[in-house]
Structure 1
């Protein structure tokens, strides 16, 4: 570990606020998201999109993705996606090992925590409740509450304000470039997760302060006694 990296790691021990992305970070919605995109693509572009093709769709809001494909059908495609997504939600959403236990320890230690997501609030809460982690979060900043989404600092700043915290005491944890860049644009520390669907190496390009191989590692970086 370089001296600079060691300095970053030591600085993380002063963090008292954790901002988490939701999908692909705390709950495993990857199969649900990919299947929802594939269903939508097959509806409008039969035979043209594979699983590998739609991986790049993950991260930004649905409106941005579908507007690039066909501005005239953006709302229709979004509704097609959401109808399928809600119908298959409980069947396809899975947990990530160690997430619940890590959140439980952080809550017990008094860390301020919030969800910052680019999905709608009702869908976010649905997934959180399914995995039993909703009780750890009083603050959820979803697409419904903001004008600008990650990597714009607005949603992170809104979460920090609600928690009564500041960027220099906060860490943004996520699985996409939008999370890492959102943290950097806000002035927080940043943590990537190695289980990102885009691949650990692709996320490392954006230079998060740390890369978590497991969620439990977060406790080590924060200097938390389990």
Structure 2
């Protein structure tokens, strides 16, 4: 059965938010745990929900850390967020070809929408599943299941695409095809170990895969 519904993670999959995320973590960690974390230490924090990350750092200050992180993130958001090479053209083409396109992210929905608007991608996505739309975040299948339900899609007709382990696992747990993106800051080998259905070296590879 052919793929008709494509669900994407947002950060580091469609839009480059590396510097925004890293700088927001640096700002927050320096505030609460001064001089304890280097830039390379922060890479492990990219992807999971903020509450899960800050629980490891200061379990008694999770809400305070999230507040500081989000304030810094929003303040610098528009200047640091850009689409990855070829993303806008590829997404536009997929939409014109009739594919159902959705976002499944661990960001809160309003921030995800802002990222889509800043990068010119908002017109192509009418389904956005954010952290505040689910009880259980990725790698639980709930976010992907909600994305499919919004389209009335079946797992065998759906692909979940992302840059992090929890994106691939969430799709696998929901029974969809999966694709990892080789431009992940964590290195393509981290995703290859999870055996996604496909690996994308460039976003345009997606159309080649779908044509097959």
Same fold (TM over 0.5): yes
TM-score (norm 2): 0.98
1:43 equivalent among 22, 25, 31: 31
Moved more, 197-206 or 17-26: 197-206
Superposed CA deviations along residues 52-85 of structure 1, whole A, max 9, x for unmatched, are 1000001110011111211210000000100100
* Partner residue, 1:5: none
Residue from 163, 167, 181 that aligns with 2:169: 181
TM value normalised by structure 1: 0.92
Match of 2:184 in 1: 196
Unaligned runs of 5+ in 2: none
Q: Give the alignment's Cα RMSD to 1 decimal.
A: 0.9
In the alignment, the residues of structure 2 paired with residue 95 and residue 160 of structure 1 have an alpha-carbon distance, to the nearest angstrom, of 24
1:98 alignment counterpart? 86
Q: Using the alignment, how far apart are the partners of 1:47 and 1:167 within structure 2?
A: 46
> Unaligned regions of 5+ residues in structure 1, if any?
1-10
What count of residue pairs does the alignment treat as equivalent?
Answer: 212
CA distance in structure 2 between the partners assigned to 1:165 and 1:203 by the alignment? 25
CA distance in 2, matches of 1:61, 1:77: 12
| Runs of 4+ residues deviating >4 angstroms | none
Q: For residues 150 and 33 of structure 2, what CA distance do their matches in structure 1 show?
A: 42
Question: Alpha-carbon deviations, 1:121-165, whole Å to 9, x = none?
Answer: 110000000001010011000001100011101011111010110
**1:142 corresponds to which of 116, 127, 130:** 130
